[in-house]
């Protein structure tokens, strides 16, 4: 905070979070707006749907449990392959592979893309905590490096359209990371 009356609505943390973005037109923004606002996150993995066996069970129940574990492992591997294998040239999305400063209001990162203030962007974020929710939102670029700069530029995106349940997931993640940071700080000073 710079002391000039600026007040933040949400806490911020810096972490390495898989995200990708693509610029969208105003027409596409309007088309995606209701879809994103009224559909909450797609959880990549749903371990709570696996029913654990208690005590003695029949062979069929054990086989069903093994099948559920295998499906869970398969989904996790698909997610890892998707994150690691995504190229910035494919399907119009640019992947960000650096630290990201994120809050419930927006995100900042360094990118090679030529984003300008006022551009509209579709952003996908995978929260790196089980069950790895994938959040999609629409943003506006509120700050971008000057276009005459060569190389990477710092970009700041403000969430314009985000499902409120998704925002809650994001805020919970920020609080989790803040607690971890404070715990580490306390342990290193004692």
> Would the pLDDT of 138 be above 50?
yes
User: What is the rounded average pLDDT of the residues 56-65?
Assistant: 62
Peptide bond into 131 cis (omega under 30): yes
**Cβ-count burial of 189 within 10 angstroms (0-12 exposed, 13-18 middle, 19+ buried)?**
exposed
Question: Could you confirm whether domain 12-44+87-189 is CATH 3.40.50.300?
Answer: no
- By CB atoms closer than 10 A (0-12, 13-18, 19+), residue 41 is buried
Q: Where do runs of H (alpha helix) occur along 5-140?
A: 26-38, 59-85
The more confidently predicted of residues 159 and 80 is 159
Running DSSP on this structure, what letter comes out for residue 40? -
CA angle centred on 46, ends 19 and 78, rounded to 5°: 50
DSSP H or E run through 168: helix 164-189
Q: What's this model's pTM, rounded to 2 decimal places?
A: 0.69
pLDDT at residue 91, as a whole number: 67
Q: Mean pLDDT across the stretch 13-25?
A: 88
């Amino acid at each position: 905070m710079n002391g000039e009356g600026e007040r933040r609505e949400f806490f911020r943390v810096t972490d390495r979070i898989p995200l990708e973005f693509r610029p969208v037109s105003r027409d596409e923004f309007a088309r995606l707006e209701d879809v994103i606002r009224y559909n909450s996150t797609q959880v990549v993995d749903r371990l709570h749907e696996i029913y654990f066996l208690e005590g003695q069970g029949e062979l069929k129940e054990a086989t069903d449990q093994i099948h559920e574990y295998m499906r869970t492992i398969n989904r996790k591997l698909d997610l890892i392959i998707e994150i690691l294998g995504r190229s910035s040239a494919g399907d119009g999305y640019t992947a960000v592979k650096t630290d990201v400063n994120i809050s419930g209001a927006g995100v900042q990162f360094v990118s090679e893309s030529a984003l300008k203030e006022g551009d509209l962007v579709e952003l996908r974020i995978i929260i790196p905590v089980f069950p790895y929710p994938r959040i999609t939102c629409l943003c506006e670029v509120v700050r971008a490096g000057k276009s005459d700069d060569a190389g990477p530029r710092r970009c700041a995106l403000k969430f314009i359209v985000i499902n409120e349940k998704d925002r809650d997931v994001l805020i919970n993640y920020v609080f989790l990371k803040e607690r971890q940071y404070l715990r580490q700080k306390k342990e290193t000073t004692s």
